Structure 1
Amino acid sequence: MQNIISITAIGSISSLGKSSTEVWKSYLNNSHHITTKEVLGKELLVSKISDEVKQDIEQLRLSDSKYKSLDNSVLYAIYTSREAIKQANWDGSDNFGINIGSSRGATELFETYYDSFIKNNKAETLSSPTTTLGNISSWVAHDLQTQGPEISHSITCSTALHSMLNGIAWINSGMCDKFLVGGSEAPLTAFTIAQMQALKIYSKRTDHYPCRALDFKKTENTMVLGEGAAMVCLEKGWQDHALASIVGIGYATELLKHNISISSDAQCFQRSMKMALGDINPDEVDVIVMHAPGTIKGDLSEFKAIEKIFCNKTPFLTTNKWKIGHTFGASGTLNIELAVLMLQHQTCIGVPYIDNPKPPKKIKNVLVNAVGFGGNAVSILLSI
């Protein structure tokens, strides 16, 4: 990590709400935000954005004739990007960089266009330009009227934190002073949910907490899909108006023995966390926001990696997936949002169905993890 990077704003939407006040209020209770959606005649567990936010998104769609053909993943990104730069007091003329990713991209549009192609044996005119992944950052740049570099990518579930790595690299290179980074995901479609069910990782639970992320005693996989987006404004150096600072970054990829799994002790996480810590004593980390997707192997392997790195003192461990589900490529920056809120409010958000350890008296350093299919892990160390 060459220089400290400031986080000066975060804009997000998820089932928790659309403002930091709403989101924090939602975190302070022990209720989850998982509901159901009818998919192919069956009621399945999902975590959806509110009807109020959906109305906002629809207004955005109708505000510009060019936006009517865009996928929700792109509209979510535009919506949250507007909020983030408003908070940061950025202007399009600043020509800040943009790096926004998505694990799935324009999922709903792609499925719709493909169905049409199968029925008519002909592709619709806008089927290609509206379903390419590059859609996200380019449309955000268009909407914000900025001419800085714009990058879109998919690195599965660690996409948003990889966006953050890229933004930091550009700033440290001296090529930009500001970067807007994040992830956006609208995955609540029949085919996407069916893919997770085919992997046998989707929750079938009907009890009070359908997703049992961080429950190391569970005997079944309990992942639930959620939708959402979160954008983070990064600025070079420490800024007086910063919400938090990034003091360490780490990343790693491990060789896989299976298409979807990582090693039993998550060697990729061990390397990414160790890199993020740098010269900082592991005992100085107060909280870890885990990736913890709610699967048996995914949760436990990350925990074993934490035990290896933090052998003397395990930090307070938490996750938000029991509450909002797994938002794929957006999950990393939604985790960053939780970390920043805990730093700001000096309050640990625990998981209600586990024995939470005693929270630290002061929260100074929070480590945020993300990993995705392909064994690509990212760890970001935040401080105040």
Structure 2
Amino acid sequence: MKRVVITAMGALTPIGNNLEDYWTNLKAGKSGAAPITRFDTEKFKTKFACELKDFDLGEFIPKSEARRYDPFTSYALVAVNEALENGKIDFDKLDTNRIGVIWGSGNGGIQTFTEEMVDYVKNGETPRFNPFFIPKIIADIASGIISIKYGLRGPNFTTISACATSTTAILDAFNHIRWGKADMIITGGSEAPITIAGVGGFNASRALSTRNDDPTTASRPFDTSRDGFVMGEGAGALVLESLEHAQARGADIIAEVVGGGMAADAYHLTGTHPDGEGAYLGMTEALREAEISANDIDYVNMHATSTPMGDISELKSLERVFGNATDLSISATKSMTGHLLGAAGAIEAIASVMATVDDIVPPTINTSEVEPEWADKYDLTLGEAKSRKVDYAMSNTFGFGGHIATAIFKKFKA
């Protein structure tokens, strides 16, 4: 099997519109939550989310082109463009038949779908749909457009596994390169779910926080007063390639992908297994594939969405895998970014990778009263980032339907 490395990354998040700002604000413990500006929330239970800030799409994509895309695709293109610029990747010098795109989105073009259906109802029974309606809403279109834009003819598809989506995409990219099916793959995920359907739907399932009086503190993983997650939007892009390919082109190597685990809770439509059965299987499989023990992991970026049952089940699974590992640092970066659903795994993979690069664990913010049973078991990195050695970082993501995906990243050593 080939070794797989990460050579470039790009980020578009509620706390930073590029990789540098995202990582800086993550370390600083900045919250991206604020009142929703996209639509009138008067009749909604939840009136806030983690929207992008000071973001002008026109700076990246001409309006004539952007009209053909749902925002989730536009977000993908922005993050990918940054990654390619950061990695100084020149496709004219590479075999693009050996370069692929494996992208993830849990909701696809939900904004376009919502707008078109509302217009249809308002304008009577005559169907007057946008000619780009279908291409804009299908979840696979972002990977297709990325490949078209850059002329990439390698493996090209989209993964969908709810909130585990982009971690699944990263692991698929990892495997395709290990198997020799491609030399380089652009991977990650994007999501634009802050719509009347997205917020209304998650409100109906009682998954969102309703802490409307103080949005910035609403996402509070592990806290006794947590009441649901905060929705976020954006994208994260990573360029994966075989070690041989990266070295041959003189790339700067950021980190290595060494293992992944995918499993299922096989328990409930939307809830996690009470004892974290699927999460346990995903983490142990990732460790097995990486050929390391639990004691080798320095940092775990938790899925931890700030839901009453989800946080506890993940902590239970963590205890099964790591025992009482007093030297293990964990944190929940969704406390700052909100939950980007299908794109969560991508931006959290980036956070995990940067932890190995800078030897810094980003914090968990807003958590003041930890569930008593777990208060003294782990270093939850509360309030402030922590400087410590991070050779191995693990990232967990779980999704509706019981989907589990765990990835392990390693500080690169030639």
Match of 1:164 in 2: 170
**Equivalent of residue 296 in structure 1, options 305, 308, 311:** 308
Measured on the aligned residues, the alpha-carbon RMSD in Å equals 1.9
Which residue of the partner structure matches residue 250 of structure 1? Answer: 261
| C-alpha distance in structure 2 between counterparts of 1:116 and 1:250, whole Å | 43
Shift in alpha-carbon separation, 1:210–1:187, aligned structure 2, 3 A: same
Asked whether 1:340 is paired with 2:353, we answer yes
| Structure 2 SS opposite 1:224 | coil
Match of 1:151 among 157, 160, 166: 157
Partner of residue 50, structure 1: 53
Gaps of 5+ in 1: none
Partner of 1:378 in structure 2?
405
1:351 corresponds to: 364
The reply to whether residue 283 of structure 1 matches residue 286 of structure 2 is no
Aligned mates of 1:27, 1:128 — CA distance in 2: 36
CA positional deviation for 1:224: 0.6
Mapped contact 2:297–2:393 kept (Cα < 8 A)? yes
**Is 2:262 the partner of 1:262?**
no
The residue matched to 2:177 in structure 1 has which SS? Answer: helix
| Alignment partner of 1:137 is 2:148 | no
The corresponding residue for 2:283 is: 273
- Tell me which amino acid in the other structure corresponds to 1:273: M
1:183 aligns with 2:189: yes
What is the TM-score when the length of structure 1 is the normalising length?
Answer: 0.92
Matched ranges for 1:227-246 at <5 A: 227-237=233-243, 239=246, 241-246=252-257
With the length of structure 2 as denominator, give the TM-score of the two structures. Answer: 0.86
Structure 2 Cα separation of the partners of residues 146 and 361 of structure 1 = 39
How many angstroms does 1:331 deviate by? 0.3
SS in 1 for 2:67: helix
Alignment of 1:82-161 (within 5 A): 82-93=81-92, 94=94, 95=96, 96-118=99-121, 119-121=123-125, 122-124=127-129, 125-161=131-167
- Note if contact 1:106-1:132 (Cα within 8 Å) is conserved in structure 2: yes
8 A contact 1:78–1:143 mirrored in 2: no
- Which range moves more in the overlay, 24-33 or 263-272? 24-33
Shift of 1:148: 2.4
CA contact (8 A) 2:163 2:345 kept: yes
Structure 1: distance between partners of 2:321 and 2:34: 36
Runs of 4+ in 1 over 4 A off after TM superposition: 354-360
- Residue aligning to 2:230: 224
Contact map agreement 1:254 1:375 (CA 8 A) in 2? yes
- Tell me how far 1:86 sits from its aligned partner: 2.0
CA deviations 1:70-99 (Å, max 9, x no partner) are: 111001111111111222232334321001
CA contact under 8 A between 2:15 and 2:31: conserved in structure 1?
Answer: no
Q: Write the distance in 1 (CA, Å) between the matches of 2:153 and 2:293.
A: 41
Partner Cα distance (1:31, 1:12) in 2: 16
CA distance in structure 1 between the partners assigned to 2:360 and 2:309 by the alignment: 29
Note the 1:22-41 alignment, pairs <5 A.
Answer: 22-38=21-37, 39-41=39-41
Ranges in structure 2 where 5+ consecutive residues have no aligned partner:
369-374
Distance 2:292 2:179 in 1: 23
Describe the shift of the 1:130–1:357 C-alpha distance in structure 2 as closer, same or farther (beyond 3 A). closer
- How many residues align? The count is 376
Deviation at 1:312, TM superposition (A): 4.2
Amino acid at match of 1:129: P
- Which shows bigger deviation, 131-140 or 87-96? 87-96
The alpha carbon displacement at 1:69 in A equals 2.4
Deviation of 1:27 after TM superposition, in Å, equals 1.7
CA distance in 2: counterparts of 1:9 and 1:325, whole angstroms: 24
Give the match's secondary structure for 1:11: strand
Please give the alpha-carbon distance, in whole angstroms, between the structure 2 residues aligned to 1:81 and 1:20. 11
Moved more, 220-229 or 286-295: 220-229
